[in-house]
Structure 1
Amino acid sequence: MRHQEVELLAIGAGPSNLALAVAVEELAGSELAQDTLVVEQRDDVAWQRGMLLPWTTSQVSFLKDLVTLRNPRSAYSFVNYLHSVGRLDQFINLGSFSAYRMEISAYLAWVAHSLQHVRVQYGRRCGSIRPHHTADGPSHWSVEMSDGSTIVCRHLVIGGGRDVHIPEAFAGLPRDKVIHSTEFAVRVDEIGTDRPLRLAVVGGAQSAAEMLTAVHQSFPLAHCTMIMRSIGLQAYEASKFTNELFYPSFVDQFHAALPEAREQLLREMHRTNYSGLTPELLESLYRRIYLDRLAGDERIEMLTMRDVVDAQLDGGEVAVTLLDRKTGGMTQHRFDKILLGTGFASAMPRIVQDLARSAGVADISVNRHYRMNLPAGYGATCHLQGVNESTHGIVDSLLSVLAIRAEEIVGDLLAHRSTPPVLVFADSTLTP
């Protein structure tokens, strides 16, 4: 279709918007569900596509799926997925609360294909979002897709995640020399096994360590150098007391906290999610290094407390200049490939920033129910998922809050819902 009109459009078919889709079906009734569309730029649904390695697991309990904390009896639970594919008894026998990443990814795809009323359309990338003005003011959004088609909606939910962070030093390198963790699994075969390679892994958290483990295992001729700013690899902070701060109910306390209290919470909780490794991966990686030393073949090198100052292509190699913060000295190292475990940009995603500019919003913020604060007179609404850490805590980017957040957004939508008017375009008339 060149033009579509829906009441609710969700951008991105990841965990956030799939949880929203299920909540719409279970809480809002078939009328709104049938007028809800989820668009996904890829041709399928996959979770953490770039790091879907066979042995990687989730760091949260399988009970924190799309629905269970909101509705334990839902047909869309992870347990029901396991039952439907005949693997429930095997998973129980595994004796673990942590599911494999590939299994969670398959669960999300199963949910997307099991929705009764909400539609999911694949291969549709959002290009721009602009307010659509009518006689009653900006009561809708006009979303232009990359193929030139347009979707008009009254309610918009953006859940595509943050933009990838590429450190400035590596931004100018050719694509074939740099692989970010978000595309590692689909590009790792580009590395090749035909000759000894020098591989640099930049970063000191879970994704960087997983890439290091994978290339050390898959490329026996490769020398792997891990470059990090920290003093060394550290385990996640994962005590049961700390984990209580990931309860959906804690969002209320965080949102109501004083600014200085929020800053302390974010600072002290950083290692619960961003700058650590699972104890199992730490143990496994240390044993790999130990066994290499035992065999006299040390293929893993750790460069700690190093800042990347520069990276230039030189004769087919990448020359990386590092500052050693212990000594103040500069060194240059040459690599064949750079693997970036550098995560995501802290700023709001580009698509949200562009929307805010078009709506006349200088300072992007959301209310307690994740609805963007728009200028007076807006009949259209926009909710943001997964990018509200400053107001809702670190949990906003994690699976832990999916089910309850979706319930809150749907409740807010229902409270502000009204029937969109007929919109007349130059070449068509669209009705709900």
Structure 2
Amino acid sequence: MTVHDVIGIGFGPANLALAIALEEQQIGLDVRFLDARAEPAWQPGMLLSGSDIQNHPSRDLVSLRNPRSRYSFLNYLFENGRLLEHLNLPAEFPLRKEYARYITWAARHFDHVVDYGRRAADVRVVEHDGETLYSVTAQTGEAYLGRSLIAAPGRTPYLPAPFQTADSRRIFHLTDYLFRLEELTADGAPESVAVIGGSQSAAELTLDLAHRFPGTRVRNLVRSFSLRLKDTSPFSELGYFPEFTEYYHQVTPEARRRLDTYMHATNYSSVDGDVLKELYLLIYEQRLDGDQKVFVDGNIQATAAREENGEAVLELREVNTGAVETDSFDLVVVATGFRDLGPREDQELWPAMLAGVAHRFRTEETGALHVNGDYSLEARGEYADSPPLFLNGLCESSHGIGDAGSFSLLSLRAQTLLDGVLKRTGTAPAAV
């Protein structure tokens, strides 16, 4: 079997940014990436018409690390003949659809180092020809050997109780949104849809459903009082600077939780102002016309979810008064985000694919994996021979809000991680 210097699990934006850094710095490593998808794609279930990426386009795969790179978003526009037209757009941020095409365009340059259609099912440490290596087995049965491993599978979708146990295709996470719509509305528009959550995605989904199915009752159910405005203060945005990442990693767990509380509204359970205004105006006009179809109902928590007679039935409780109701929907979209590393019900101690090797590495008191500053894991004493293992794009609990699935620090994180790989493999950039 071929022994690769590095195996990368996942080829989304995180490992794509790393692949670009490897190429541009002419690193002499044999790297093989595995990706579960049949072809490169970024959030294909959430490419809603009119939705944007919510971050400056130059916080892309490469520009903060190397603004002269051919893989920048700006150069993508230039090479595809849309630069002037895009610069004339009356919009602050690029369309999500366009950024998805940018990512696919960049990924296609690396087809020679990626095996698509290979979902990593199991990771083990093995001995092979006198070396201690990682063996990664894909669901196809193929096995790969590597001297180090970079795990970037993307964060696991989070479905809170009771949705995680609801056995119904009518109840699904937002990442499946467009696919389930195509499947479940082929015979016509749904009569009613529930959107669970108070996030940016939840508000965007509510608007999308209202525009896509004007006659459909759409109910956005929010556990807090209502939808709230996202914190876009430039001072709060300093949390997406590398200096904050370094600071966050050095402080105590208690201090991190305080910082999390402050930074929460910059990314979670909050909505951009333009989306809030559009949604509020839509509801106001429907009320004016005496035909309200869209509702944002706060202080509501689902306590049970099931399918009955071809409908998704939710039992709902008013969190302050305790009043209980039951409502039925054709579809329920759960827009409650993704799991981070940690011990809480909405977190996970480690990515599922690493279950076979997680015991080899140091953990926090909570049981979650301890992650070093360069995104490497630290082997326990009895497993000191463990090959290097890095987590890419999974480390908000150890590195702060800049690691929250955002593009904000993607290219700089790739450099930090690459430096860690070179240090642990004893490899140096090739002379230019």
TM-score, length of structure 1 as denominator length: 0.90
Q: Which residue of 1 aligns with 2:377?
A: 372
Give the superposition deviation at 1:25.
1.0
Q: Which residue of 1 aligns with 2:33?
A: 38
In structure 1, how many angstroms separate the alpha carbons of the residues matched to 2:362 and 2:245? Answer: 25
Any idea what the Cα deviations from partners look like across 1:385-429, whole Å, max 9, x if unmatched? 12211221011121111111100111111111158xxxxxxxxxx
Determine which of 397, 400, 410 is the counterpart of 1:393.
400
Identity of aligned residues (%): 33
Pair 6,136 (structure 1): closer, same or farther in 2 beyond 3 Å: closer
Q: Is the 8 A contact 1:201 1:338 kept in 2?
A: yes
Q: Which residue of 1 aligns with 2:273?
A: 279
Across the aligned residues of Structure 1 and Structure 2, the Cα RMSD in angstroms comes to 2.0
Secondary structure, aligned partner of 1:267: helix
Pair 1:141 & 2:149 matched: no
Give the superposition deviation at 1:349.
4.8
Q: Which residue of 2 aligns with 1:49?
A: 44
In structure 2, how many angstroms separate the alpha carbons of the residues matched to 1:55 and 1:170? Answer: 28
Deviates more, 1:345-354 or 1:197-206: 345-354
Deviates more, 1:375-384 or 1:208-217: 375-384
Q: Is the 8 A contact 1:154 1:379 kept in 2?
A: no
Determine which of 250, 255, 262 is the counterpart of 2:256.
262
Give the superposition deviation at 1:51.
0.8
Determine which of 81, 104, 113 is the counterpart of 1:109.
104
Any idea what the Cα deviations from partners look like across 1:285-327, whole Å, max 9, x if unmatched? 1111111112211001222111211112222222211111221
Structure 2 stretches lacking a partner, 5+ long: 340-346, 428-432
Pair 1:239 & 2:248 matched: no
Q: Is the 8 A contact 1:389 1:396 kept in 2?
A: yes
Q: Which residue of 2 aligns with 1:382?
A: 389
Q: How does 1:30-429 map to 2 (within 5 A)?
A: 31-32=28-29, 35-94=30-89, 96-115=91-110, 119-133=113-127, 139-192=132-185, 194=188, 197-345=191-339, 346-351=347-352, 353-357=354-358, 359=360, 363=367, 364-376=369-381, 377-397=384-404, 398-418=406-426
In structure 1, how many angstroms separate the alpha carbons of the residues matched to 2:163 and 2:247? Answer: 39
Deviates more, 1:41-50 or 1:58-67: 41-50
Moved over 6 A (4+): none
Secondary structure, aligned partner of 1:129: strand
Q: Is the 8 A contact 1:162 1:348 kept in 2?
A: no
Q: Which residue of 2 aligns with 1:427?
A: none
Give the superposition deviation at 1:360.
6.0
In structure 1, how many angstroms separate the alpha carbons of the residues matched to 2:129 and 2:3? Answer: 18
Give the superposition deviation at 1:173.
3.1
TM-score, length of structure 2 as denominator length: 0.90
Letter in 1 for 2:139: S
In structure 1, how many angstroms separate the alpha carbons of the residues matched to 2:350 and 2:191? Answer: 35
Q: Is the 8 A contact 2:362 2:370 kept in 1?
A: no
Q: Is the 8 A contact 1:45 1:105 kept in 2?
A: no
